[in-house]
Amino acid sequence: MEVLILNENDVRLILKTDKAIELVEVAFREKGLKRVQMPSKVYLFFDKYQGDLRAMPAYFEFLDIAGVKLVNSHPQNPSLYGLPTVMAIIILFEPRTGRPLCIMDGTLITGMRTAAAAAVATKYLARSNAESLGIIGAGYLARHHLLVFPYVMSVQKVFIYDIVKSKAENLAREFENKINAKIYVVDDPKSAVEPADVLATLTPSRRPIVKNEWVHEGLHINAMGADAPGKQELDPEILKRAKIIVDDVEQASHSGEINVPLSQGIITLNNIYAELGEIVAGLKKGRESDREITIFDSTGLALQDVIVAHYIYMQAIERGIGLKIQL
């Protein structure tokens, strides 16, 4: 049985930022139209190592493709072992027979599709005249986010905060000539929130970083960091003021930004306005006024990984990229 193997360099050669955004938007639309299968991600928790491993399966009816991503999150990896916080592989399967088609590196895909989801959310939920961007957390995901936002908003100013200031400074230097915007490194999270039209929170925090009093009317927040039980980045009082849009209600309820406030009874499921897929599919409206505060609660969908991986696989076959092995 022949299987195609694609490494990170193969993936990087094929996948471009604009294509990732396009594919992720399709994934949201298909979910909104209920033409997919996607059980909630399953976790193994390695508490003594402060990490976890997740299995994420999905199936697209219109593509007739299925796959599963296996991905970890170990925030101590960079400092202790010189390894990335997040590493992943994606395996694609042929639904007709169940045979494996491709095993590919999923780390780059994870970063790109996560940022692409924020871009899609920003497209539908940010004010049309949004031009200033706040970034909290200057790690791996921040790089991908800085690449995607110019596709969906006219970025003029960027305010970056990280608890390790040198990381924010390095990121600013890296992107000063990559995007046509002024980039400021700020000394506290408040200074990244208050001037922003669009905010992205990209941390593994388990306590709120963004305070309610900093959040002004009209702000759109991409809450991307809370992707496991107990994680949260936003003051729950913000959620009570905002229109909350999740990527998946079930996943968000147990592992998204809303998971802690839900468990504490601060909000209920009635506070959730929609899944993003419903908005992309035209079933519900997105932003309805310039005064609304909107929050996109992202947990990361297997659908995003599988649709991107399928595109990469098809391109690799067409272009003769990758290594074929016999299992």
d(CA 298, CA 141): 13
pLDDT tens string 232-254: 999 999 999 999 999 999 999 99
Place of tokens 């929609």: 274
Rounded-to-integer distance, Cα 311 and Cα 302, Å? 14
* Architecture of the 2-109+303-326 domain: 2-Layer Sandwich (3.30)
Tokens 């994934």 sit on residue: 27
pLDDT at position 227 is: 84
Q: Indicate if the pLDDT at residue 13 is higher than 90.
A: yes
Average pLDDT of the segment spanning 305-318: 98
Please give the structure tokens belonging to residue 232. Answer: 């949260």
Please state, rounded to an integer, the average pLDDT across all residues of the chain: 96
Phi, psi at 44, each rounded to 5°: -115, 125
Q: Where are the alpha helices (DSSP H) in 105-258?
A: 107-125, 140-148, 165-175, 190-193, 236-241, 249-255
pTM above 0.85, yes or no: yes
**What are the sequence ranges of the domains in the chain?**
2-109+303-326, 111-300
Q: Name the active-site residue from 19, 34, 48, 69.
A: 69
d(CA 235, CA 223): 12
Q: 121 with 200: CB under 8 angstroms? A: no
CATH T-level fold of 111-300: Rossmann fold (3.40.50)
CA angle centred on 213, ends 120 and 116, rounded to 5°:
10
Catalytic-residue membership of 157? no
What tens digit of pLDDT does each residue of 31-42 get?
999 999 999 899
**Whole-number Å distance between alpha carbons of 137 and 167:** 9
Q: How confident is the model at residue 283 (pLDDT cuts 50, 70, 90)?
A: very high
The amino acid that residue 289 corresponds to is S
Q: Are 200 and 118 in contact (CB under 8 A)?
A: yes
One-letter amino acid identity for 72? N
Do residues 232 and 260 make contact, with C-beta atoms less than 8 angstroms apart?
A: yes
User: With 90 as the cut, is the pLDDT of residue 277 above it?
Assistant: yes
Looking at residue 228, its pLDDT comes to 83
